[in-house]
């Protein structure tokens, strides 16, 4: 668990981060969301002391990060950066093994762990002997993720990790990333400016502007319980899509009879389940004209649900 | 005498050539190694302390601009002569490219990569050796390449301070009018530069990312550098001798000392510009000089008596093409005004004034002309231009100034002087190719260096100065269409000299005494 307590950072009299406090829990992905210059990356880098705080404290599992040797602190934190930050003079294998070597793992252990993670992120072990520039952007970013995960650190920090990727590659990596069981024993903080990514990956979202956190909460809270106009305006352009995505069939099931929508789909070889979002369910139903009635019924149920949430 | 061709020269001199190549490599690698040891840490330092960068790069840049001969001259009081001043000078030239490229290479490592290293928990040492250094390596190697090529070139000048190397052949060849000797030095020097450059390029291509492999290369350089010091050199005498390259190759020079006196000095080869300074600074004990040199008086040197007569006296006289005399009819009578006017002691006195009292050659020349009532203010200078050349020592500068004043005062010709031409060959070639019109030459040099006569011829014509003069006058006219004008009056001969005090202490008066002292 990470506890950030009233941290600030100024550059030349200009306040970049202004007395921010929040907590990130175990097994959680917390998103720091905001436009460029809002202070989200600075906040992230203060956690592994790439940037030092001016005032305030950061505690990881109760221990102040300043009480640890800086190298030890950083070896206990996985870090994934926007432009991969892979060493151009190291092969993929050497890049991945950087931290284990600093930790003096034996070769066999490094090898096994590398292969395991390569498999999980759908990378062929053939590329291990290549250099970063010989890989595609998506492959490089996957390697970056493996490098950050290999030492199984309790904390993972991600700075715009998927920002440079095209949409298709991005959604593939999102899927692979979400399904990683490695995340289950970690506290993850991810910085992004991409609203859809925030909703796709985040358990909770902290929306930042001008060095402050305006609201922190679950995606649903951010959409249906905005604290002020800035928050609701921030999501305005994606609002309809986001509403469909934050609502699951399970949410609707509690209030409406939609068993007949879910059941036939389950029996078929489709991916719909109670955990599916309304967005994916509607998309699924819209592909077949025989499902026209069910589509309409689901839409109506969602419209009613939505009305209840807002009022 | 048959003209020697290049290959026979190389085959004959292969031992010397091999020795010089080893010396040359030794100088280059020793200085390079030191430059790497000093330059890379400095480059790393200034990449971390930006404030120092400007100062250090600026200083290294200024050092780089000091002319190499001047730098070697500065070194003598501090480091003496021989390999040390040469290596220090070379080190100074090699520093800038190495420091600058290290700095550029290290600061050029992307901040993104640096941040990644830090974020993974590398300490600054690990960052330096695992990230910055390997990534900067191509740029650093490029700097070492530049430094190597510069050093192979500058190392030819090491022969000026008696450090050996291929410069011995190059500058000896220039002094002795021996093209084969020049080429035997210049071709290997050029080849070494290309070879080392390509070798480093090749090593660079191997993409050494591992520091261990670099250690292997580092040790290799060290071994070559050290080999130079442990290479068997002839054991030194009680007295250290320094001779000019020209003296080394002449019958009336080192060859004569060996043949007639049986005197083997194992001399260092050194330029005459630096030789006097070196004996004055106690870096040398015996040097080859000229009998009229002002520094004999200035530095209190003793000219050893040539009791077996291997240094015949030679007249100094201006030489000029016959066709030039026809073109400028007023010239010969004016030049002849000086004939017979300067005897040995007058010339030595004038040399003393320039060499020791630091008067300009022009002032010395003017004072002299006034004293013999030949000085006239320069008048109109519209009838044509005469170009006077000189070799690179004081006496010639004074003679050039004398002729310039005479000609401009007594005729309507303008005079341009081209002083300090690097040696007999350069002066003579300039005259033959009409780059200059006249220069003062010595009959002995004309005989031995330019004409290359047979041994019997030499014996016959060197019996007295007049015979030598008439022989070279005849031969030059026939061979080159060049006239020897009337002798100026003084004789200039080679001479061996020591510090007066040493000569007195060891009771050495003649070359035979020196031989006896050394074999005792």
**Interchain contact, A79 vs B112, CB within 8 Å:** no
Burial of B238 (0-12, 13-18, 19+ CB in 10 A): exposed
Q: Which of B119, B120, B135 sits opposite A88 (nearest CB)?
A: B135
Enumerate the residues of chain B whose CB falls inside 8 A of the CB of residue A65: none
**Interchain contact, B119 vs A89, CB within 8 Å:** no
B207, pLDDT greater than 70 = no
**Interchain contact, A102 vs B120, CB within 8 Å:** yes
Complex ipTM = 0.86
**Interchain contact, A87 vs B112, CB within 8 Å:** no
Question: Length of chain B in residues, anyone?
Answer: 520
Structural domains in chain A plus CATH codes: 2-237 (3.40.50.300), 247-310 (no CATH)
User: What average pLDDT score do residues B467-487 get?
Assistant: 91
- Threshold 0.90, pTM exceeds: no
pLDDT in tens, B305-324: 888 888 877 889 999 999 99
pLDDT, position A268: 54
Q: Are B122 and A90 in contact (CB under 8 A)?
A: no
**Interchain contact, B121 vs A99, CB within 8 Å:** yes
pLDDT, position B235: 47
Between CA B256 and CA B296 the distance in angstroms is 22
pLDDT in tens, A173-226: 898 888 888 888 899 999 999 999 999 899 999 999 999 999 999 999 999 899
**Interchain contact, B119 vs A77, CB within 8 Å:** yes
Enumerate the residues of chain A whose CB falls inside 8 A of the CB of residue B112: 81, 83, 85
pLDDT in tens, B169-195: 888 888 777 788 889 999 999 999 999
Q: Any idea which residue has 């302390």 for tokens?
A: B49
**What residues of chain A, 164 to 223, have a C-beta less than 8 Å from chain B?**
none
B126 touches chain A (CB under 8 A): yes
Of the candidates A76, A57, A75, the one whose C-alpha atom is nearest the C-alpha of residue A66 is: A57
A62 touches chain B (CB under 8 A): no
Q: Which of A50, A71, A89 sits opposite B123 (nearest CB)?
A: A71
Please report which helix (H) or strand (E) contains residue A10, including its range. strand A2-11
pLDDT in tens, B216-236: 777 777 777 676 665 555 445
B211 touches chain A (CB under 8 A): no
Question: Cα torsion for A108, A114, A118, A124, to the nearest 10°?
Answer: -60
Bridge partners (DSSP) listed for residue A279:
none
Angstrom distances, CA of residue B458 to CA of A100, B51, B454, B464:
84, 68, 6, 11
Kindly state the tokens that stand for A242.
């986001």
Residue of chain B whose alpha carbon sits nearest to that of A70:
B121
Between CA A44 and CA A8 the distance in angstroms is 12
**Interchain contact, A71 vs B115, CB within 8 Å:** no
Q: What percent of chain B has pLDDT over 90?
A: 37
Of the candidates B500, B497, B473, B496, the one whose C-alpha atom is nearest the C-alpha of residue B485 is: B473
pLDDT in tens, A258-311: 776 666 555 455 567 777 888 888 888 888 777 788 888 888 888 888 888 877
Between CA A291 and CA A282 the distance in angstroms is 10
Q: Are B424 and B391 in contact (CB under 8 A)?
A: yes
Q: Are B344 and B508 in contact (CB under 8 A)?
A: no
Between CA B413 and CA B378 the distance in angstroms is 10
Structural domains in chain B plus CATH codes: 6-230 (1.10.3720.10), 241-310+496-519 (3.40.190.120), 314-492 (3.10.105.10)
Between CA B193 and CA A5 the distance in angstroms is 64
pLDDT, position A269: 52
Which regions of A143-203 does DSSP assign to beta strands (E)? Answer: 155-159, 187-192
- Closest Cα of chain A to B109: distance in Å? 10
A83 touches chain B (CB under 8 A): yes
User: What average pLDDT score do residues B263-282 get?
Assistant: 84
**Interchain contact, B119 vs A85, CB within 8 Å:** yes
B214 touches chain A (CB under 8 A): no
- pLDDT category at A30 given cuts 50, 70, 90 is very high
A143 touches chain B (CB under 8 A): no
pLDDT, position B95: 92
Residue of chain A whose alpha carbon sits nearest to that of B113:
A85
């Amino acid at each position: 668990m990470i506890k950030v307590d009233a941290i600030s950072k100024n550059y030349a009299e200009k306040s970049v981060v202004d007395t921010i406090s929040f907590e990130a829990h175990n097994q959680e992905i917390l998103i720091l969301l905001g436009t460029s210059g809002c202070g989200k990356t600075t906040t992230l880098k203060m956690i592994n002391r790439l940037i030092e705080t001016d005032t305030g404290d950061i505690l990881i599992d109760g221990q102040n990060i300043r009480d640890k040797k800086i190298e030890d602190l950083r070896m206990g934190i996985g870090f994934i950066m926007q432009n991969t930050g892979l060493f151009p003079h190291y092969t993929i294998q050497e890049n991945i093994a950087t931290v284990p070597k600093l930790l003096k793992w034996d070769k066999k252990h490094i090898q096994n762990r590398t292969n395991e993670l390569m498999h999980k992120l759908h990378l062929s072990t053939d590329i291990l002997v290549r250099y970063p520039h010989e890989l595609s952007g998506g492959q490089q970013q996957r390697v970056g993720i493996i490098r950050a995960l290999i030492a199984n650190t309790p904390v993972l920090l991600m700075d715009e990790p998927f920002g440079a990727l095209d949409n298709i590659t991005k959604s593939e990596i999102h899927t692979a990333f979400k399904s990683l069981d490695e995340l289950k024993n970690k506290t993850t903080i991810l910085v992004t400016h991409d609203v859809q990514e925030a909703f796709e990956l985040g358990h909770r979202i902290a929306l930042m502007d001008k060095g402050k956190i305006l609201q922190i909460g679950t995606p649903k809270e951010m959409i249906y319980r905005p604290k002020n106009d800035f928050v609701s305006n921030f999501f305005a352009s994606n609002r309809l899509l986001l509403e469909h995505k934050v609502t699951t069939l399970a949410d609707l099931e509690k209030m409406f009879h939609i068993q007949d929508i879910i059941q036939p789909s389950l029996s078929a070889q489709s991916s719909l389940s109670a955990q599916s979002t309304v967005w994916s369910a509607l998309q699924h139903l819209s592909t077949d004209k025989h499902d026209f009635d069910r589509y309409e019924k689901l839409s109506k149920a969602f419209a009613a649900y939505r009305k209840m949430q807002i009022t | 005498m048959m003209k020697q061709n290049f290959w026979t020269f190389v085959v004959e001199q292969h031992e010397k050539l091999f020795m010089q190549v080893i010396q040359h490599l030794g100088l280059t690698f020793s200085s390079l190694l030191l430059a790497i040891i000093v330059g890379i840490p400095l480059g790393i330092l200034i990449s971390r302390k930006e404030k120092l960068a400007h100062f250090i790069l600026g200083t290294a840049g200024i050092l780089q601009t000091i002319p190499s001969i001047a730098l070697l001259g500065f070194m003598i009081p501090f480091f003496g002569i021989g390999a040390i001043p040469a290596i220090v000078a070379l080190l100074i030239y090699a520093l800038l490219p190495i420091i600058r490229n290290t700095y550029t290479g290290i600061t050029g490592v992307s901040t993104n990569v640096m941040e990644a290293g830090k974020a993974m928990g590398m300490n600054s040492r690990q960052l330096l050796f695992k990230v910055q250094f390997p990534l900067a390596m191509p740029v650093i190697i490029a700097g070492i390449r530049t430094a190597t090529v510069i050093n192979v070139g500058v190392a030819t000048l090491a022969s000026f301070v008696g450090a050996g190397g291929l410069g011995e052949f190059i500058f000896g060849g220039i002094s002795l009018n021996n093209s084969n000797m020049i080429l035997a030095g210049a071709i290997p020097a050029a080849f070494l530069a290309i070879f080392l450059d390509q070798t480093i390029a090749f090593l660079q291509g191997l993409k050494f990312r591992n520091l261990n492999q670099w250690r292997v290369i580092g040790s290799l350089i060290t071994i070559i550098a050290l080999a130079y010091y442990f290479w068997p050199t002839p054991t030194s005498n009680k007295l250290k001798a320094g001779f000019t390259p020209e003296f080394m190759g002449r019958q009336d020079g080192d060859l004569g000392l060996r043949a007639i006196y049986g005197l083997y000095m194992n001399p260092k080869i050194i330029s005459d510009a630096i030789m006097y300074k070196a004996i004055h600074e106690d870096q040398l004990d015996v040097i080859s000089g000229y009998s009229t040199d002002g520094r004999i008086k200035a530095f209190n040197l003793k000219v050893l008596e040539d009791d077996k007569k291997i240094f015949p006296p030679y007249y100094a006289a201006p030489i000029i093409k016959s066709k030039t005399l026809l073109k400028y009819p007023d010239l010969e009578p004016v030049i002849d005004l000086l004939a017979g006017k300067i005897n040995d002691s007058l010339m030595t006195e004038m040399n003393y004034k320039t060499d020791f009292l630091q008067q300009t050659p022009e002032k010395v020349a003017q004072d002299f002309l006034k004293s013999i009532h030949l000085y006239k203010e320069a008048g109109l200078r519209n009838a044509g231009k005469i170009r006077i050349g000189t070799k690179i020592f004081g006496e010639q500068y004074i003679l050039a100034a004398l002729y310039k004043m005479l000609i401009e005062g007594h005729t309507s010709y303008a005079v341009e002087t081209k002083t300090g031409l690097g040696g007999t060959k350069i002066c003579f070639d300039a005259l033959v190719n009409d780059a200059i019109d006249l220069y003062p030459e010595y009959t002995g040099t004309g005989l031995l260096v330019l004409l290359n006569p047979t041994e019997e011829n030499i014996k016959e014509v060197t019996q007295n100065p007049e015979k030598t003069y008439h022989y070279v006058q005849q031969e030059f006219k026939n061979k080159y269409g060049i006239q020897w004008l009337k002798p100026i009056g003084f004789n200039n001969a080679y001479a061996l000299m020591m510090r007066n005090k040493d000569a007195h202490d060891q009771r050495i008066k003649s070359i035979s005494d020196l031989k006896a002292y050394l074999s005792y």
